[in-house]
């Protein structure tokens, strides 16, 4: 009997994939819009069959696997409710969600004796719901659903349930709406294999997870116009044109049916793994050598005899590029400045994987919308300018494929890039906000696409954890060499907090990736006329992160603008980040200049200590390179000095070897020196290699 039931289940699943009601052979409006790149919101509205039905979550998972990041599914069902309740609560539970598609089912409870609603009244309620939805959005797609027959203790519903279901069919036909009709298939199962019906509908009315998976969800997907859910899925970064990291183990992961043996083949290697109970699988490829040869990766399922092939895969160096708007700033946002570089950007071995800028999530996302692009004069226009100049410098010097994963978001705060778990543990001040995410997720699905101008429940790029969830987590643990980062402008007013949050973020990312202390190079914010507390305190907080292992900071004190938070000179920024990478991570590389990368001067002067010498203060530095210098040949600018009163006044600064001596006739007994400590100060101190010095101070007095 057990074998027979299993066989029947398989036959039933195959049969149901070919039998649906309404416009079964066509794409639904939902799928057509998604295929056209339009983000969609789906609301499911009905009884406990919807509210507690795992078919909703299964449908959501299927849609997200096909259209990651483009579709939001909201379950607005409620147990023990009927069509009159549906009319009364339509605004709050459906219309306010601004849906593009609504699935409605209430007939089973309309037929239930305690609620006894006549067929005529039930039809009136159903049509009211339809008309009100269309009145607010004439383009909204409405799909009616007829569910399973109730049995057992729910037999009192059976005598008249067919009349209510037939009414749904008539309304769908007359109004030319799509109908998904589950009843005939369920009736057949009930009559021919009652033991199977009992297995799939344990309480006689609510299909369980397996019943939904085998019967309901495949029918819905087929009716919507999606072929059966691909049994074998790869994580989002694994796409055509990708670059894999060389010289380290490479994880390849995805999802399939539990117990499925998945085999990955690439570059002569073959590795297999068995999908766990939750369907997750992961294999590890042995370290690969860099290669310009465009090869294919194949991924095969043993259960489904399904094979996926990914073409044009290179092996080289991969860097994760993130931050806020100065990292997001695209080449096409700098008209006239880098036209020559754009015209010459035919670099088939430079690849960029990007995620849309407006994706936020209240829970960690397994998948996200993204794609790899080959660099050419057209595609480069949409690349991050900083990332492009970083990557093209590495491409030139390393002479191997470069992959850049771009995932910045303008206007973002540092806490948005840190996981929920770490924020709760290390920064309990964020807990109250994080606690609101559960209800938001339940109401909305928790994934927000701000390309849609819809209400977002306070979830913005400045909400804690939401960017880590949507823009970092889907990439983890894709093998990378390291990360570059440009962010901090949003947090200028909170330097004390930034001192703790920024290094915590670096540690958390490294822990998530599981690659140890991978290189993390970041850009110090440029001078700009910020209001309130001086931006120098935020720059100082960024400088402090240099004490985290394997970090480096590119200084931009010479490219700022008093009135522009987005300085247009992105090339020196990207190339300064590349200097850190070349010198620290590729030291044996013979550069185009003929020198070794290990000989590069990769940082501007960094203040280390001060000594009071009578009426002067002597400042000591490291990373002086060929010597300290003035960028414009004029006396060193933007030095101030103070006595015990804490009042800083302009000072004279003179280079003396690898040190600078600072003094003022007005301060006989100096105590402290500050350099470039105004928000918009653009000083001239650099080393002879042209790399500027960061703002700094010798005191530790609280910001004023």
The more confidently predicted of residues 448 and 290 is 290
Flag whether 375 is in a domain.
no
The C-alpha atoms of residue 142 and residue 178 are separated, in whole angstroms, by 7
- Is it the case that residue 6 has pLDDT exceeding 50? no
Q: Are residues 136 and 64 in the same domain?
A: yes
Give SS3 for 44. strand
pLDDT at 704: 64
Query: Is 374 a domain residue?
Result: no
Mean pLDDT taken over the chain: 90
Residue 305 confidence (pLDDT) above 80:
no
Q: Is residue 327 part of a domain?
A: no
Are residues 569 and 629 both part of a single domain?
Answer: no
Mean of pLDDT values over 274-295: 96
Rounded CA gap, 4 and 395, in Å?
61
Contact 641, 649 (CB under 8 A): yes
Average pLDDT rounded to a whole number, residues 259-284: 95
Residue (of 135, 134, 164, 136) closest to 149 by Cα position: 164
Q: Is the pLDDT of residue 647 over 60?
A: yes
Give the model's confidence band at 25: pLDDT under 50 very low, under 70 low, under 90 confident, else very high: very low
Query: What pLDDT is attached to residue 159?
Result: 62
**669 with 533, same domain?**
no
Lowest mean pLDDT: which of 217-221, 331-335, 573-577, 593-597? 217-221
Residue 406 DSSP one-character state: E
**DSSP assignment letter at 153:** G
Q: Pick from 573, 602, 576: which is nearest to 386 by CA?
A: 573
Q: What share of the chain is helix, strand, coil (3-state, %, to 5)?
A: 35, 25, 40
- For residue 526, the 8-state DSSP code is P
Q: Which of the listed residues 576, 598, 620 is the one where a domain comes to its end?
A: 598
Distance separating alpha carbons of residues 131 and 138, to the nearest angstrom: 9
In the structure encoding, which two tokens stand for residue 453, read together?
């101008």
Within-domain flag for 249: no
Structural domain count, the chain: 3
| CA-wise closest residue to 44 among 119, 120, 147 | 147
Residues above pLDDT 70, as percent of the chain: 92
* Position 685 pLDDT exceeds 90: yes
**Which two structure tokens, joined as six digits, stand for 565?**
């938070």
Residue 91: partners with Cβ closer than 8 Å, 6 or more residues away: 132
Q: What is the DSSP letter of 468?
A: I
User: Could you tell me if residue 368 is inside a domain?
Assistant: no
Please give the angle made by the CA atoms of 206, 212 and 214, to the nearest 5 degrees: 135
Nearest to 666 by CA among 648, 684, 680, 690: 648
Helix or strand run (H / E) with residue 639: strand 639-642
406 φ/ψ angles, rounded to the nearest 5 degrees: -95, 120
Of 564, 525, 524, residue with least CA distance to 333? 564
Q: What integer pLDDT is reported at residue 68 of this predicted model?
A: 66
What pLDDT score does 4 carry? 40
- Asked, for residue 527, whether it belongs to a domain, the answer is yes
478/566 same-domain check: yes
Say whether both 568 and 623 belong to one domain: no
Q: Looking at residue 388, what is its pLDDT? A: 98
Whether the CB-CB separation of 290 and 349 falls below 8 Å is answered with: no
Enumerate long-range contacts of 133-136, CB under 8 Å, 24 or more apart.
133/90, 133/94, 133/95, 133/99, 133/102, 136/95
Which pLDDT score, from 0 to 100, does residue 115 have?
61
Range of the domain at 665: 606-697
Question: Helix, strand or coil for residue 611?
Answer: strand
Q: Are residues 110 and 16 in the same domain?
A: yes
Residue 682 lies in a domain: yes
Query: Confidence band (pLDDT; 50, 70, 90) for 152?
Result: low
Do 64 and 204 sit in the same domain of this protein? yes
Q: How far apart (Å, rounded) are the C-alpha atoms in residues 360 and 240?
A: 25
For residue 166, pLDDT beyond 80? yes
CATH number at residue 132: 3.40.50.1110
Q: 3-state class of 585 per DSSP?
A: helix
CA distance 460 to 476: 22
Average confidence (pLDDT) over 649-665: 98
Greater confidence, 500 or 442?
500
- Under the banding of pLDDT at 50, 70 and 90, the label for residue 394 is very high
**pLDDT the model gives residue 12:** 44
Instruction: Return the structure tokens found at 269.
Output: 């290697």
Percent of the chain, pLDDT > 90?
70
Token code pair at residue 415: 């806490």
Give the C-alpha separation, 445 to 442, whole Å.
6
Last residue of a domain, one of 224, 247, 267: 224
Query: Rounded to the nearest 5°, which phi and psi values hold at 46?
Result: 175, -150
Highest mean pLDDT among 101-110, 349-358, 653-662: 653-662
Are residues 520 and 626 located together in one domain of the fold? no
Q: What pLDDT sits at residue 200?
A: 82
The enclosing domain of 496 has a CATH number of 3.40.50
**Residues 442 and 481 occupy one common structural domain:** yes
Helix axes 495-513, 535-544, angle to 10 degrees: 30
Which residues does residue 696 pair with via DSSP β-bridges, in sequence order? 675
pLDDT, position 362: 92
pLDDT at 15 over 50: no
Q: Which of 59-68, 284-293, 467-476 has the lowest mean pLDDT?
A: 59-68
- Tens digit of pLDDT for each residue in 116-130? 688 999 999 999 999
| Token pair recorded at residue 493 | 């007013």
Distance CA 81, CA 602 (A): 67
Q: Phi, psi (5° rounding) for residue 494?
A: -130, 55
Predicted pLDDT of residue 114: 52
Same domain? 106 vs 186: yes
Tell me: do 542 and 611 sit in the same domain: no
Distance CA 253, CA 269 (A): 16
**What is the arithmetic mean of pLDDT over 150-175?**
78
Strand intervals (E) in 76-227: 101-105, 141-146, 178-181
| Boundary residue ending a domain (574, 598, 622) | 598
- Whether 480 and 553 share a structural domain: yes
Preceding amide of 477 cis, omega within 30? yes
| 141-146 sheet: strands from edge to edge | 71-75, 40-46, 101-105, 141-146, 178-181
Question: Which tokens sit at 495?
Answer: 């330097």
Per-residue pLDDT, 249: 98
Least confident of 59-73, 93-107, 262-276: 59-73
Task: Please write the tens of the pLDDT for every residue from 78-92.
Answer: 888 889 999 999 999
Helix (H) or strand (E) holding 308: strand 307-323
Kindly tell me if the per-residue pLDDT of 357 is higher than 90.
Answer: no
CB atoms within 10 A of CB 599: 10
How crowded is residue 318: how many other Cβ atoms within 10 Å of its Cβ?
A: 25
Asked if the structure places residue 526 within a domain, the reply is yes
Q: Does the pLDDT of residue 1 top 50, yes or no?
A: no
The CA-CA-CA angle for residues 221, 222, 227, to 5°, reads 85
- pLDDT (mean) for 382-389: 97
Cα three-residue angle 552-553-556, rounded to 5 degrees: 160
pLDDT at residue number 57 = 85
380 or 159, which is more confident: 380
Q: What is the DSSP letter of 378?
A: T
């Amino acid at each position: 009997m057990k074998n027979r039931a299993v066989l029947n289940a398989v036959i039933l699943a195959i049969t149901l994939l070919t039998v649906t009601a309404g416009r079964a052979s066509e794409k639904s409006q939902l799928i057509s819009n998604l295929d056209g790149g339009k983000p969609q919101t789906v609301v499911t509205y009905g009884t406990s069959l919807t509210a507690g039905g795992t078919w909703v979550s299964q449908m959501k998972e299927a849609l997200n696997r096909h259209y990651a990041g483009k579709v939001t599914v909201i379950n607005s069902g409620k147990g023990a409710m009927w069509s009159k309740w549906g009319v009364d609560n339509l605004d709050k539970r459906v219309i306010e969600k601004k849906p593009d598609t609504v699935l409605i089912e209430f007939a089973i409870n309309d037929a239930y004796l305690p609620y006894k609603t006549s067929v005529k009244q039930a039809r009136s309620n159903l049509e009211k719901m339809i008309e009100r939805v269309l009145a607010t959005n004439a383009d909204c797609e409405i799909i009616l659903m007829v569910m399973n027959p109730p049995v057992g203790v729910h037999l009192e519903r059976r005598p008249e349930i067919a009349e209510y279901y037939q009414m749904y069919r008539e309304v769908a036909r007359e109004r030319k709406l799509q109908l998904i009709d589950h009843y005939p298939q369920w009736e057949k199962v009930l009559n021919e294999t009652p033991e199977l019906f009992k297995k799939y509908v344990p309480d006689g009315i609510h299909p369980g997870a397996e019943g939904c998976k085998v019967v309901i969800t495949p029918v819905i997907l087929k009716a919507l116009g999606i072929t059966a859910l691909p049994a074998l899925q790869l994580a989002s970064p694994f796409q055509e044109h990708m670059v894999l990291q060389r010289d380290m183990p490479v994880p390849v992961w995805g999802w399939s049916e539990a117990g499925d043996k998945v085999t990955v083949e690439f570059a002569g290697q073959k590795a297999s793994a068995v999908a766990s109970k939750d369907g997750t699988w992961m294999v590890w490829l042995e370290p690969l050598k860099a290669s310009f040869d465009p090869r294919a990766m194949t991924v095969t399922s043993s259960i489904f005899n399904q094979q996926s092939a990914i073409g044009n895969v290179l092996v080289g160096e991969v860097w994760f590029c993130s931050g806020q708007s100065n990292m997001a700033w695209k080449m096409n946002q700098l008209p006239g400045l880098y036209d020559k570089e754009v015209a010459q950007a035919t670099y088939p071995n430079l690849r960029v994987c990007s995620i849309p800028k407006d994706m936020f999530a209240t829970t960690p996302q397994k998948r996200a919308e993204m794609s790899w692009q080959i660099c050419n004069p057209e595609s480069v226009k949409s690349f991050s300018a900083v990332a492009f100049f970083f990557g093209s410098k590495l491409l030139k010097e390393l002479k191997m494929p470069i992959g850049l994963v771009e995932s910045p978001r303008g206007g973002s705060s540092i806490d948005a890039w840190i996981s929920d778990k770490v924020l709760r543990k290390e920064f309990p001040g964020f807990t109250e906000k994080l606690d609101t995410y559960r209800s938001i997720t339940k109401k909305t699905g928790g994934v927000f696409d701000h390309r849609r101008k819809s209400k977002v429940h306070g979830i913005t790029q400045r909400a804690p954890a939401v960017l880590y969830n949507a823009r970092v987590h889907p990439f983890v643990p894709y093998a990378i060499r390291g990360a570059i980062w440009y962010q901090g402008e949003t947090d200028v007013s909170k330097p004390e907090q930034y001192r703790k949050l920024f290094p915590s973020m670096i540690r958390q990312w490294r822990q998530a990736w599981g690659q140890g202390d991978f290189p993390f190079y970041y850009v110090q914010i440029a001078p700009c006329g910020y209001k309130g507390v001086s931006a120098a305190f935020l720059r100082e907080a960024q400088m402090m992160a240099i004490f985290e292992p394997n970090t480096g900071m590119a200084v931009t004190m010479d490219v700022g603008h008093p009135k522009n938070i987005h300085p247009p000179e992105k090339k020196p920024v990207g190339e300064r980040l590349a200097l850190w990478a070349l010198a620290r991570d590729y030291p044996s590389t013979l550069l185009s200049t003929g020198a070794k990368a290990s000989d590069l001067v990769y940082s501007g002067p960094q203040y280390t200590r001060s000594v009071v010498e009578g009426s002067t203060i002597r400042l000591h530095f490291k990373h002086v390179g060929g010597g300290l210098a003035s960028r414009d040949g004029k006396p060193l600018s933007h030095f101030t000095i103070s006595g015990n009163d804490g009042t800083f006044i302009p000072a004279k600064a003179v280079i003396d070897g690898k040190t600078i001596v600072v003094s003022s006739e007005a301060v006989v007994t100096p105590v402290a020196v500050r350099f470039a400590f105004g928000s918009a100060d653009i000083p001239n101190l650099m080393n002879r290699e042209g790399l500027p010095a960061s703002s700094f101070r010798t005191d530790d007095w609280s910001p004023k």
